């Protein structure tokens, strides 16, 4: 299973988007269907609790997003790059730790 598939599989639902973004499809996390690997990523930031990162909250944001979010953020391009690279679990955790430490971007 690719990183993107694992990320999507560990997504219980999307968090509420900012006020200017379109509303989430359902009102509560329990009502939201999980993303499937074939779904495109939404055009607004959303937060997941990643099982592969031991329950860490991770934000997925559109490319070019400049507004702050409440935790580490991965752009759509970074998610796609990680999906192409298919890092093993230890490498993925190391990448996430660096992201937390330097609040930087994943190299493509």
- The conformation of residue 29, written as its DSSP 8-state character, comes to G
The whole-model pTM stands at 0.60
Dihedral angle at the C-alpha atoms of 25, 103, 55, 84, nearest 10 degrees?
Answer: 70
Two structure tokens written together for 14: 């999307």
Q: List the beta strands (DSSP E) in the chain.
A: 46-50, 56-61, 73-75
For the stretch 1-52, pLDDT in tens is: 555 566 556 655 544 444 455 554 443 445 555 555 567 788 889 898 988 8
Neighbouring CB atoms inside 10 A of 20's CB total 7
For the stretch 49-77, pLDDT in tens is: 988 888 888 999 999 998 988 888 999 99
- The conformation of residue 8, written as its DSSP 8-state character, comes to H
Residues 54, 81: contact at Cβ < 8 Å?
Answer: no
Residues 99, 74: contact at Cβ < 8 Å?
Answer: yes
Q: Greatest CA separation found in the chain? A: 37
């Amino acid at each position: 299973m690719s990183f993107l598939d694992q990320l999507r599989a560990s997504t219980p639902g999307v968090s509420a988007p900012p006020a200017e973004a379109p509303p989430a499809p359902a009102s509560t996390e329990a009502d939201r269907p999980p993303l499937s690997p074939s779904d495109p990523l939404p055009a607004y930031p959303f937060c997941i609790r990643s099982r592969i990162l031991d329950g860490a909250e991770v934000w997925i944001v559109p490319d070019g997003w400049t507004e702050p979010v409440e935790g580490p953020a991965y752009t759509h391009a970074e998610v796609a790059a990680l999906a192409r690279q298919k890092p093993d679990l230890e490498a993925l955790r190391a990448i996430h730790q660096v992201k937390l430490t330097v609040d930087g971007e994943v190299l493509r």
